[in-house]
Amino acid sequence: MKTKISGYHNPDDRKPDKRPVRKIIYDMVEFTENEGKIGRLYDYFMIAVILISIIPLTTKSDIFLFHVIDRVTLACFIIDYLLRLVTADYKYGHKSEFPFIRYPFTFMAIIDLIAILPSLKILDSGFKLLRVFRIVKVFRVFRIFKIIRYFKSVDVIRYVFKKAREPLAVVSSLAVAYILVMALLVFHVEPNTFHSYLDAVYWATVSLMTIGYGDLYTVTEFGKMIAIISSFVGVAIVALPTGIITAVYMNEVNQKKEEEKED
């Protein structure tokens, strides 16, 4: 009979990590089954870096601290980009052709690059407008919500949108067509109010959605009649997707309940 000695650990219990270094890095920067604590800490770290990098964009003040933040976060983004690039073969599989060439042209890799390029001094100052696109990197925050995949309600909602995609597409097409027609009509009825067709499209959109910002509005009698009709139709068109989604959702929920009762 073997007795357990206090403070003693069997060397056999310590299983060394035999994964290649690049595989460890890949599991850290990407969401995989082997992510582990280091991967989660890396996620939290990058979320913090992304949020901090947005702080200088919220003000026009030229503060030295903001320049430091920009330099430090830029270094983090470059390192993150390079780590993902050097492990691209694990992302696509070793049998995939040219993974290191393929990765830079993926959507998120382009977003990463857009977040890096505007802060490089070698670029002209006119490219600083691209810094706005750094906000898109905030969408990586949703990596922290990967736990929601274990909730049944999320699967139900995903199924609802998948099942109702055809009627929703029809309603969306109807709304777009109506906006374009109403915009064309009011554009010719009130040429002095709407100087371009884009202005008319903007007015038709906010009227259809019954928002009505008040920055553009009709002034003639015929134009006001068009606005009234647009508002009424807008209520109906906006209500249609809500009714479709609600009907499919309730049907799916009731079906789930019946399946649970049968079990």
Domains of the chain, each with CATH number or no CATH: 16-148 (1.20.120), 154-253 (1.10.287.70)
What pLDDT band is residue 149 in, cutting at 50, 70 and 90? very low
Give dist(CA 61, CA 226) in Å, integer.
Answer: 46
Average pLDDT, the chain: 77
Q: Is the pTM of this model over 0.85?
A: no
The single residue listed with the structure tokens 């980009």 is 81
Of the candidates 36, 28, 146, 40, the residue with the CA atom closest to the CA atom of residue 87: 28
Q: What is the pLDDT of residue 98?
A: 83
Polymer length of the chain: 263
Q: What is the pLDDT of residues 88-128, one digit of tens each?
A: 888 887 667 788 888 889 888 888 887 787 676 655 555 55
Q: What is the pLDDT of residue 31?
A: 67
Q: What is the pLDDT of residue 158?
A: 74
Amino acid at 16: P
What pLDDT band is residue 5 in, cutting at 50, 70 and 90? very low
What pLDDT band is residue 82 in, cutting at 50, 70 and 90? very high
Highest mean pLDDT pick, 49-63, 223-237, 247-261: 223-237
Query: Residue 159's Cα: distance from chain center in Å?
Result: 19
pLDDT at 232 > cutoff 70: yes
Q: What is the pLDDT of residue 128?
A: 53
Q: What is the pLDDT of residue 152?
A: 59
Q: What is the pLDDT of residue 3?
A: 46
What pLDDT band is residue 259 in, cutting at 50, 70 and 90? confident
Give dist(CA 184, CA 100) in Å, integer.
Answer: 48
Contacts (Cβ under 8 Å, ≥6 apart) of 114: 130, 133, 134, 136
138 and 207 in contact (C-beta within 8 Å)?
Answer: no
Contacts (Cβ under 8 Å, ≥6 apart) of 231: 207, 208, 210, 212
More confident residue, 14 or 150: 14
The single residue listed with the structure tokens 């750094």 is 134
Q: What is the pLDDT of residue 79?
A: 92
Rounded to an integer, the average pLDDT of 148-174 is 75
pLDDT at 247 > cutoff 60: yes
